[in-house]
Structure 1
Amino acid sequence: MIAMALVPLMIAVGVAWAAATDNIFPTRWTGAFCQLGGGPPCLTDNREVYFYMDSNGEYELESEDRATVNAAIDGELRPTDLAFHYDSSPVFEGSAETDIIYQEGSTGLPDSAAGMTWCNALGSGPSECDQQYIRIRGAGAYIYERVCHETGHAVGLQHGDNSYPTLDNLDSRLGCMRTPSYGHPDLGSNNRENINDNY
């Protein structure tokens, strides 16, 4: 009887989680409830992620910015358990909204921010967002590592100071989730493991 009680404990110890930190929503420091328009980045509502790049009006992405979004998704997010699909007919209301809307512009961005991600419509679970917006400044700010960073937020990845255990926001294990993101283009194994474990 004693030997049998020890076996599960030994198995549990033998499969320790290898990620440096838990930095996917919710964490010990972020709470569990997604918030509209602000707060920590939430989870997307499923592993099938439909995205749209604004193609007209004030927030239209230029062709080089569209290429950057596609390159970052192909290089960093598609190799995870998430499945990214371009939505050429985006849905902006209702229960089947397009998951991520990419925009170019500075309206609503704090002066200190090159980009921002926010939840526009809550999902069915308390930690989920049905539709998230990513807005990145123009004039050279739409770069690969920033797209990786903001897309990471749109699937729930947090900065180091919102992780558990906390890491410095520039800790190399955070990959493109380091802040500031400039010069850190790779998603990294820690973020990949958190995404795959969650989705």
Structure 2
Amino acid sequence: MTRASLRHAGRAAGVIALAFGALLATAQPSPADDVPTDGSDVEAARTIDNIIPTSHYDTPCRKGILCQTDNAQLTYYMDSGGSNALESDDKATVRSVLSHEYGSTDFSVSYDSTPSWSGDSETDIYYSEGTVSGSDNGYTYCENAAPGMYKCDQQYVKIEPGHWSSGLVCHETGHAVGFVHGEDASPVVGMQDSRLGCMKKNVGSEGLGDNNRRNINSVY
């Protein structure tokens, strides 16, 4: 082979090597391929810690405040007599929210037709209808604290007549299992941040959403 032929052969081999290298570069994914380039995408993927305790809400449980419920066996009762009774359509809303929203998490949800008001295994959530002080249409608080710093054995939920929407029932039930508003979350987020789902301060028809489900499944 002449020198000219060797030069041509060397040049051809170089072209082949470059082409092969380019093929490898195309075939191998970049480490950054799975990282969102839009800052809002990164923010949307981040879990907000909005279930007690957070770095902004770590008050030990006692009567009258927000606490976690005491275990993953979530039982509830709806008032059925007297001035605090729920109407049939309100009961249907509660059943639907507990079944479809909270029943799709690690909670095992069941209705307690013979509720317990004392002892070590009280019915977890008691729903009643009535007037709520202030500008809110719903209110939730711990009635009986349980062993454990942040746990409550029985939570009371009260919602005003005409306001038993799926969003508000989801919201107040969220408080009954330990969810706080965005101002007490970690990191702190806006009270209407979409990632809060039905735990927005002013809730519409939102359900739990992915962030709240992740928190429930992590804690319970």
Common fold, TM-score beyond 0.5? Answer: yes
**Structure 1: gaps spanning 5 or more residues:** 1-17
Which position in structure 1 is the counterpart of 2:137? Answer: 114
Higher Cα radius of gyration: 2
Q: Which residue of 1 aligns with 2:20?
A: none
Among all aligned residue pairs of Structure 1 and Structure 2, give the percentage whose two residues are the same amino acid.
Answer: 46
What TM-score, normalized by structure 2, do the two folds share?
0.78
Any idea what SS the aligned residue of 1:52 has?
A: strand
Residue pair 1:53, 1:101 contacting (<8 A) in 2 also: yes
Gaps of 5+ in 2: 1-44
Q: Which has the higher helix share?
A: 2
Amino acid at match of 1:156: G
1:35 is aligned to 62
Structure 2 CA distance for partners of 1:33 and 1:61, relative to 1, 3 Å: same
- The answer to whether the Cα contact below 8 Å between 2:101 and 2:208 also exists between their aligned partners in 1 is yes
Structure 1 residue 74, shift from structure 2 partner? 1.5
Alpha-carbon distance change, 42 to 19 in structure 1, aligned in 2, over 3 angstroms: farther
Residue equivalent to 2:212 = 191
Q: How far is the alpha carbon of 1:32 from its aligned partner?
A: 4.2
Tell me if 1:150 matches 2:175: no
Shift of 1:95: 1.3
Out of 128, 131, 144, which is 1:103 matched to?
128
Number of equivalent positions:
176
Q: Residue 19 of structure 1 contacts residue 189 of structure 1 at CA under 8 Å; is this kept in 2?
A: no
Partners in 1 of 2:62 and 2:187 — Cα distance? 23
Alignment of 1:22-101 (within 5 A): 22-38=49-65, 41-101=66-126
User: Root-mean-square deviation (CA), in Å?
Assistant: 1.1
**Contact 1:178 1:184 (8 Å CA) reproduced:** no
> Which structure has more RCO (C-alpha within 8 Å, separation ≥ 6)?
1
Q: Does 1:21 align with 2:48?
A: yes
Aligned to 1:13: none
Shift of 1:27: 0.7
